[in-house]
Amino acid sequence: METRIFESKESVAKAFCEYLVKLIASKPTVHIALSGGSTPKIVFNELAAHYSHQIDWNKVFLYWGDERCVEPTDSESNYKMTRDHLLSKVRIPEVNIFRIQGENNPESEAVRYGRVLDEQLSMVGGLPQFDLVILGMGDDGHTASIFPDSIAKWDAPSNCVAVAHPVSGQIRVSLTGRIINHAKEVAFLVTGIGKAEKVQEILQNQPSAKAYPASLVQPESGKLIWFLDQEAASLL
């Protein structure tokens, strides 16, 4: 595991973009699971503004780590955020974009999207393998859409699961731990003072961290990078 700390959310985004561009350039094709959230939004803006012509988008294939079960035009849709801030601004073929269809029945969509991963990704050791999974972490220690109260779903035997948000009850579709930890590389983008306590507990392997799904991100490859701003890293 590697920890990289930067001054601000914006500098985290810039550093991550540099990392991502190098990763894409090093591979003939690259399959990436995206995250929602405020920091990825800045990443997408940075990619669109400064890297739209540096990246060969024909070899980039995009998926999502989780999605709210809403229409793709809904303001809460992770797909819509990505569409608005990145996809509409770069020349990526539509056939390279594999969204979670949040408008579908959640349980059925979890099965369908799991099948998409089986069909589109390289199968390694009997499981579909992403080149990169990008993750965020909530103030409660959740990641993707696996929450502390649904942490058992991390170990589900399927590629994807439907999960209810513990407060709002909103249903989401999420990758499971077996897919996240099977990725060649995993990158956390975590910013803000509200994340500092959980970052400290997880990165210092404190016993309390076992209650947080983000602590279960331990890729088999060993390639895990935490991109943090100074606020999120302030208790380390």
How many Å apart are CA 230 and CA 134, to the nearest integer?
20
CA distance to 10, 18, 105, 201, per residue, from 66 (Å):
23, 24, 15, 24
Q: Which domain holds residue 47?
A: 2-136+180-193+218-229
Q: Specify if 199 maps to a domain.
A: no
pLDDT given at position 64: 98
Cα–Cα distance for residue pair 80/18, rounded to 1 Å = 24
In a domain? residue 30: yes
CB 214 within 8 A of CB 202: yes
Quick check: is 213 in a domain? no
Angular region, 44: left φ>0, alpha ψ -120 to 50, beta rest: alpha
The DSSP string of 115-131 is: HHHHHHSEEETTEEE-S
Question: Looking at the domain assignment, is residue 123 inside a domain?
Answer: yes
- Kindly state the DSSP code that residue 31 receives in the 8-state scheme: E
Distance CA 170, CA 181 (A): 25
The answer to whether 187 and 16 are in contact (CB under 8 A) is yes
DSSP letter for 137, please. Answer: -
Structural domain includes residue 149:
no
Q: Is residue 109 part of a domain?
A: yes
Q: Which amino acid is at 20?
A: L
Question: Angle at CA 83, nearest 5°, toward 64 and 173?
Answer: 30
CATH of the domain at 36: 3.40.50.1360
Looking at residue 134, its pLDDT comes to 98
With CA atoms as reference, report the closest residue to 136 among 166, 175, 168. 175
Residue 154 located in a structural domain: no
pLDDT of residue 109: 98
What pLDDT score does 118 carry?
98
Is residue 102 one of the residues assigned to a domain?
yes
Identity at 103, one-letter amino acid code? E
Residue 157, helix vs strand vs coil: coil
pTM for the structure as a whole: 0.97
User: Which three-class secondary structure state does DSSP give residue 45?
Assistant: helix
Low-confidence stretches of the chain (pLDDT beneath 70): none
- Say how many domains are in the chain: 1
